[in-house]
Amino acid sequence: MRIVPKSVQRLIDEFGRLPGIGPKSAQRLTFYLLRGSKQKADELGNAILDLKSNIKICSTCSNLAESDPCIICGDERRDHSTIMVVEEPLDILAFEKTGKFEGVYHVLHGVISPVEGIGPDDLYIKQLLDRLHGGDVGEVIIATNINVEGEATAMYLQKLIGPLDVRVTRIAHGLPVGSDIEYADEITLTKALENRGDY
């Protein structure tokens, strides 16, 4: 016997598949949308359907963008000789909020993780090396997360870039071990940037 209408159960199931949303939260969200206007629910639904439209990967830094090159790579006022390597697009947002970084970025879209079967070839590492071979880059700041995978990826990149004539730095361990960059406050991130050390 189905007590909950099919379309309602379907949305509860879909919400429940999202990370951090349990069955009870999924029910709550669904009934919240049910109580609201159709227009309100449609706005959310359409925002999800439109999410991937007009999204490009910047051919320089691999960030998600509406244009290619992205707004940061296309900005002449930024220091294109300093590249900060981050795991995810959200990490760029976190650093941009500090207002203390004038360089450009490179997004790996993940970290090396043997457990999850993610190797160097699954990340945008080749694209990073291509940028370095141009000879115009003086420093690469590795800003992967301060956890096992982030550190391992940083080590891997350092060994790869070491032979090239490029300074490789790592953001300072001002961040507590095990934390995620996108959750850090702006002062901690600023300190981590200022205290960066040579490998």
Residues that bind a copy of itself (CB under 8 A): 1-8, 10-11, 13-15, 17-21, 24-25, 27-34, 38, 41-55, 64-66, 71-72, 75, 88-90, 92-93, 96, 182-183
Paired strand residues for 65:
56
**15 vs 156 by CB, closer to a copy of itself:** 15
To a copy of itself, the closest distance from the beta carbon of 193 in angstroms equals: 17
- The first and second tokens of residue 38, run together, are 């159709």
Contacts of 135 (CB under 8 A, 6+ apart): 165
Closer CB to a copy of itself, 90 or 164, in the complex = 90
Q: How far is the CB of 187 from a copy of itself (least distance, A)?
A: 17
Q: Which letter, b or e, does each residue of 69-90 get, where b requires 16 or more Cβ atoms within 10 Å of its Cβ? A: bbebbeeeeeebebbbbbbbbe
Cis omega (within 30 of 0) for bond into 69: yes
Under DSSP, is residue 140 helix (H, G, I), strand (E, B) or coil? strand
Contact 124, 106 (CB under 8 A): yes
- Looking at beta carbons only, is 72 or 128 nearer to a copy of itself? 72
| Region of residue 168 (left: phi > 0; alpha: psi -120 to 50; beta: else) | beta
Of 146, 164, 143, 167, nearest in space to 92 by CA: 143
Distance of closest approach, residue 47 Cβ to a copy of itself, in angstroms:
4
Q: How far is the CB of 159 from a copy of itself (least distance, A)?
A: 27
Compute the least distance from the CB of residue 158 to a copy of itself, in Å.
Answer: 26
112 versus 132: smaller Cβ distance to a copy of itself:
112
Nearer to a copy of itself, 147 or 158 (CB): 147
In the complex, minimum distance from the CB of residue 182 to a copy of itself, in angstroms, rounded to a whole number? 7
Given the complex with a copy of itself, which of 77 and 165 has the nearer CB atom?
Answer: 77
